[in-house]
Chains A and B, each alone.
Chain A
Amino acid sequence: MGMTMTQKILAAHTGLEKVVPGQLIEADLDLVLGNDITSPVAVKEFNKTGLDKVFDKSKVAIVPDHFTPNKDIKAAEQCKFIREFACRMDIENYFEVGEMGIEHCLIPEKGLAVPGDVIIGADSHTCTYGALGAFSTGVGSTDMAAGMATGKCWFKVPSALKFVLKGKPQGWVSGKDIILHIIGMIGVDGALYKSMEFMGDGLKNLTMDDRFTMANMAIEAGAKNGIFMVDERTIEYVKEHSTKPYKIYEPDEDAVYDEVYEIDLSSIRPTVAFPHLPDNTRTIDEVGDIEIDQVVIGSCTNGRMEDLRVAAKILRGRKVKKGVRCIVFPGTQNIYLQALKEGLVEDIVKAGAVFSTPTCGPCLGGHMGILAKGERAVSTTNRNFVGRMGHVESEVYLASPAVAAASAITGRITDPDKIK
């Protein structure tokens, strides 16, 4: 019985020839990540060990991105606490406001995740780096603490679902529509405890930004990790961003998968997840008439260059509907700068939207765009749970940047093809 991509990476990081699903292993870590919400708990736990240094100061990354720039005094205290820790431990990859970005946009951009890595992060969307052919998964703060102390983490070797992608996405369809379509198909626990492995001819029609978006939302199907087969495009990205050595793992020909799904990318329509679960999906043709109060474009799911280019293209020369708030936030400072250079920021601001500093704020109802009772948002983020972006009686509709930007102009959920 052969191994999947994920199983091969885990075996290699455990010093084993072979691993099988269900096996408990202790793997070596290439990167341990945390943010300003999860790191304070991890640091408290780490301090209990009495250690005066982390296992490898170049393999720990701390990114204060959730409630930053500090939203209140308590948030400021939490950030101060982890800043002091990062300083004391001489953490090389601590990114302060001004150089930071949304962690899952920043880490690949900084070249800290490469193919074949094993990465844990105290943030559920750590699965994003699977886009680069790494095994990357979200854990909690205690695991982060133990990871910082020992450079190791225990895992149960997962079985896997295989997604064979074919064809080319049509029109405005992007990675977001594809992953929402898949989550709608298999459900929010459809990949529970498992890997989602993406491969097939259709891969060549997906940009790196599409792949980051798709791997990012593997957790919304309950997956342990999402991972893409490495191709020329991945290698090009890695060479551009990283000097770290990398290793490409491909699944064995006789690798065993629990299920195999063939996805024809050309048949996927723009897709929207209705409240209050990411698997409650409808195509744009089935949406009906949904009036909205706010549009959010950005986040670790859709805050990258292509996302901003699409949003700006639709907003350019048009106006956000009176009474609708449109908030755009780039993933990193580099993305911000590039958007400035390309004139996207001007397009967005002239359309009557706000352009924010990088932050996770609005996505999790932290700050910078909270919803009031009864309000509705179309958001390019990843979760539409009850109360996720604010009041417990507010609603979040998940969509692509194209659908979100089109909806900002009309004030209702709109097919970008219908914008005149």
Chain B
Amino acid sequence: MKAKGKVFRYQDNVDTDVIIPARYLNTSDPAELAKHCMEDIDKDFIKNVKPGDIIVAGKNFGCGSSREHAPIAIKAAGVSCVIAKTFARIFFRNSINIGLPILECEEAVDGTDADDEVEVDFTTGTIRNLTKGTTYTTQPFPEFMQKIIQAEGLINYIKG
């Protein structure tokens, strides 16, 4: 399992209210939600993001509300992976549960800038910054989490 794309870089404490503002939560349609993804922190994000791109952020990414609409919006926007120093715990669960791969790696975050090209191998936990020629290793997903992500979420995995 791999991901590759251009980096969108954000700071610490990106909360779920800026990932998907509550004013858009009168729907749960992924495509609708994606249209407003990151709107309150980066209004050009949705214009610029391409399938496969990667979000890289500081600590406590996804803090605040439990809205699963946040990882749903990120995934539906085409993002292939989020790398952060740490994740807020509900966001972490929600991402795995809907099949959005996320990784914690402080060094990779510190060594990555916006627009870098990054490749991630989830099986080995390897993060390669192709622009800078650097490589980082983090804890790979245990097998059951890889299976949940491959099944596109927990419910499909359970049904599996």
**In whole Å, how far is B14's beta carbon from the nearest beta carbon of chain A?**
10
Could you tell me if A45 and B155 are in contact, using CB atoms closer than 8 angstroms? Answer: yes
Is the beta-carbon distance between B94 and A142 smaller than 8 angstroms?
yes
Query: Which residues of chain B come closer than 8 Å to A38, judged between CB atoms?
Result: 66-68
Indicate whether A41 reaches chain B with its CB closer than 8 angstroms: yes
Within 8 A of A (CB), among B8-30: 13, 15, 17-18, 21-23, 25-28
Given contacts A45-B155, A142-B94, A189-B59, contact A75 B26 (CB under 8 A): yes
- The answer to whether B13 touches A192, judged by C-beta atoms less than 8 angstroms apart, is no
The verdict on B60 contacting chain A, using a C-beta distance below 8 Å, is yes
A365: shortest Cβ distance to chain B, in Å? 5
B93 at the interface (CB under 8 A from A): yes
A365 touching B21 in the complex, CB below 8 Å, given contacts A139-B90, A385-B15: yes
By the criterion CB–CB under 8 Å, are A193 and B89 in contact? yes
Q: Tell me if A200 counts as interface (CB < 8 A to partner B).
A: no
Q: Is the interface of A mostly helix, strand, loop or mixed?
A: loop
CB-based contact A222/B63 at 8 Å: yes
User: Whose C-beta in chain A lies nearest to the C-beta of B88?
Assistant: A222
| Cα(A67)–Cα(B23), bound, Å | 10
> Which residues of chain B in 127-160 are interfacial with respect to chain A, using CB atoms and an 8 Å cutoff?
153-156, 158-159
Interface: A44 (CB within 8 A)? yes
A74 CB within 8 Å of chain B: yes
Judge whether A141 is part of the interface by a CB distance below 8 angstroms.
yes
A251 close to B (CB within 8 Å): no
Is A206 an interface residue, CB under 8 A from the partner?
A: no
Q: Mark B47-63, 1 if CB is under 8 A from A, else 0.
A: 00000000000011001
Q: Does any Cβ of A come within 8 Å of B41's Cβ? A: yes
A7-23: CB near B (< 8 Å → 1, else 0) gives 00000000000000000
Q: Give the number of A-B contacts (CB < 8 Å).
A: 127
Known: A72-B26, A222-B89. A141 touches B17 (CB 8 A): no
Determine the interface band of chain B, counting residues with CB < 8 A from chain A: 35 or more
B107 an interface residue at 8 Å Cβ cutoff? Answer: no
Task: Determine the residue in chain A with the shortest Cβ distance to B43.
Answer: A392
A78 to B24, CA, bound (A): 13
Q: Which of B95-141 contact A (CB under 8 A)?
A: 97-98
Find chain A residues with CB under 8 A from B64 CB.
Answer: 124, 219, 383, 385
Q: Which residue of A lies closest to B60 (CB)?
A: A189
Q: Give the complex CA separation of A42 and B117 in angstroms.
A: 35
Chain B: CB-nearest residue to A126: B66
Q: Given B69, B94, B155, which contacts A146 in the complex, CB threshold below 8 Å?
A: B155
Candidates B17, B28, B153; contact of A40 at CB < 8 Å: B28
Asked if residues A48 and B159 are in contact (CB atoms below 8 Å), the reply is yes
| CB proximity of B152 to chain A, nearest CB, Å | 11
**Bound-complex Cα distance A66 to B64 (A):** 15
Q: Is A138 an interface residue (CB 8 A)?
A: yes
Given the interface pairs A143-B93, A386-B41, the reply to whether A364 lies near B17 with Cβ below 8 Å is: yes
Contact in complex: B28, A49 (CB < 8 Å): no
Complex contacts, A111 vs chain B, CB 8 Å: none
A141 — which chain B residues lie within 8 A by C-beta? 68, 94
Q: Which residues of A contact B23 (CB under 8 A)?
A: 365-366
Q: Are A387 and B28 in contact (CB under 8 A)?
A: no
Instruction: Evaluate contact between A74 and B26: CB separation under 8 angstroms.
Output: yes
| Interface hits, A384-398 → B, CB 8 Å | 385-388, 392
Sample (10) of A-B pairs whose CB atoms are under 8 Å apart: A74-B27, A124-B66, A139-B93, A140-B93, A140-B98, A141-B94, A189-B63, A192-B89, A383-B15, A387-B40
Interface residues of A (CB under 8 A from B): 37-38, 40-41, 44-45, 48-50, 66-67, 71-72, 74-75, 78, 121-124, 126, 138-143, 145-146, 149, 188-189, 192-193, 219, 222, 224, 277, 364-366, 383, 385-388, 392
Extra contacts, 7 of them, besides A124-B66, A138-B90, A189-B63 (Cβ < 8 A), are: A41-B72, A45-B153, A74-B26, A121-B66, A143-B154, A188-B13, A192-B60
Which 6 pairs between the two chains have the least Cβ-Cβ distance? Answer: A140-B94, A74-B26, A142-B97, A140-B68, A189-B60, A124-B66
